[in-house]
Amino acid sequence: MSTQWQTVPISTNVTFRVPVDFEFIKKLGSGAFGTVASFKNTTTEQKVAVKKITNAFDCLIDAKRNLREIKLLRSMKHENVISILDMFLPESRNFDDIYIVQELMETDLHKVIQSRQQLSEDHHQYFIYQILCAVQYLHRSNVVHRDLKPANVLVNTNCDIKICDFGLGRAGWDELIDLSDYVVSRWWRAPEVVLLPSAYTSAVDIWSVGCILAELLGRKPIFPGRDHLDQIKVIFHVMGTPSTEDLAFLPPPPCPARSFLAKLQKSEALSWSTLFTDVSEKITEALNAMLSINPMHRIDASDALQLPWFQTIFTEADLSSGEPLTADWMLNDMRTPTKHWLQSKVYAECCNFHPEQVPILRVVELHPLPLADDGTMAVLCRAALSGDTLASLVAQPGEKIGDLRTKLSSHLDEPAELLQLVGSNGHSLTMCDDESYQHVLVEAR
């Protein structure tokens, strides 16, 4: 059954295309990320947040970030990480706007901090513990958020939190070599990101959590640098001039970062009791553990959850909560994807939510040619309907169907999810049907 749609005005110059059973509640916010509004599904009575990313493919870099976030959020299952409930299927493959349906949260931690709401130590403890649960899940799943800040921590009135905005998130962390310099909004950015761009670790997330804790305590950002160099000065004004041991993570001289630091005025560390009133010893311990200048000495998320401050709410089950990730990390290596490829990948993600409405996939017949002396063979890939040759790919001995599908996907600038491979006899070859695929290759021998 096809979905019936309606156009709903959200503001003066923004309209949403949503199902007819979606009742508009109010606009929640807008910015460079798009526009978010709350709706009530009158069929299920569920209230949701719908994000519209307008002209999502005008900037390929932003489009790639959007796709990365979609793939990550669709594969992550944890109570403290926002999830995608639905993605509206576009009217055609050539579309401009992306609609993402997510759980509705009432506010974010930035707004809570800026409000006059009284926050007790119990509030601080519960907020930070949940953030660390989310971060621990990400890190053991080999994912780094890279942009943790209060605005990216969503909150409900019962103080449950979910972290969001994974546009800068990276998966397959252990396999990454070339890391982006642009990570983390400046005031929550770890010193190593400024001093040693492209050589940081997952510890950047822990520093950000420490900054969020300090912001909860002081009701304002603790390191409000005017620019990236001033950011370091502000950090050291609070934390004190780093020792030789603190800077062990930097390369030995000559090193531009060391030269810059040598010119800074020496300063003594400020005590947490000076910065915050009624700060307990256990909170001080947590701040010191997370805000270590040397990332190699910074506590990891698992150990942070077991700090004495969280003793009353910690449970062993929190160290293994959530479902394992199943996302692929292909986006980490794709430097310059085309608009068509990104549109098709997002379209394929939408299809995952609406399999009953998925159009006919592109069917490609595989026709292996005789084996070469080195054991490889050419595989002609032909359009099933027209018989036109689409590509000629080289198959390695023992290669799996998924590997060949990936090659063909890149060659045709078409997502693998929308390709249906069949043998010359018309039998379907699925991603897991390696035995049948090997039989197809054997035919050529």
Closest CA to 230 of 177, 281, 189, 182: 189
Q: What is the CATH number of domain 107-319?
A: 1.10.510.10
What are the residue numbers of the active site? 147
Are the folds of 5-104+337-353 and 107-319 the same? no
Q: What is the pLDDT of residues 226-281, one digit of tens each?
A: 988 899 999 999 999 999 889 888 888 888 888 888 888 898 999 999 999 889 99
pTM of the model: 0.82
The C-alpha angle 219, 224, 226, rounded to 5 degrees, equals 155
Residue 54: partners with Cβ closer than 8 Å, 6 or more residues away: 14, 34, 35, 96, 97
Residue 62: partners with Cβ closer than 8 Å, 6 or more residues away: 56
pLDDT per residue, tens digit, the chain (445 aa), is 578 999 999 988 999 999 999 999 999 988 777 899 999 999 999 999 999 999 999 999 899 889 988 988 988 999 999 999 999 999 888 899 999 999 999 999 999 999 999 999 999 999 999 999 999 999 999 899 989 999 999 999 999 999 998 888 887 645 443 444 444 578 998 998 888 766 678 999 999 999 999 999 999 999 999 988 899 999 999 999 999 889 888 888 888 888 888 888 898 999 999 999 889 999 999 999 999 999 999 999 999 999 999 999 999 999 999 988 765 555 555 556 788 888 988 998 898 898 877 665 778 888 888 888 787 888 888 887 778 888 888 888 778 888 888 888 878 877 777 788 888 777 777 644 555 555 555 554 4
Q: Is 162 left (phi over 0), alpha (psi -120 to 50) or beta?
A: beta
Yes or no: say if 298 and 114 are a contact pair by the CB < 8 Å rule.
no
Pairing assessment for the beta strands 14-19 and 161-163 based on DSSP bridges: unpaired
The C-alpha angle 110, 116, 120, rounded to 5 degrees, equals 85
Q: What is the pLDDT of residues 209-224, one digit of tens each?
A: 999 999 999 999 999 9
Q: What are the domain boundaries of the chain?
A: 5-104+337-353, 107-319, 360-443
Long-range contacts of the stretch 275-283 (C-beta < 8 A, 24+): 275/214, 275/217, 275/218, 275/222, 275/238, 276/214, 276/217, 276/218, 279/217, 280/121, 280/309, 282/307, 282/308, 282/309, 283/121, 283/124, 283/213, 283/217, 283/309
Yes or no: say if 53 and 33 are a contact pair by the CB < 8 Å rule.
yes
CATH architecture, range 5-104+337-353 = 2-Layer Sandwich (3.30)
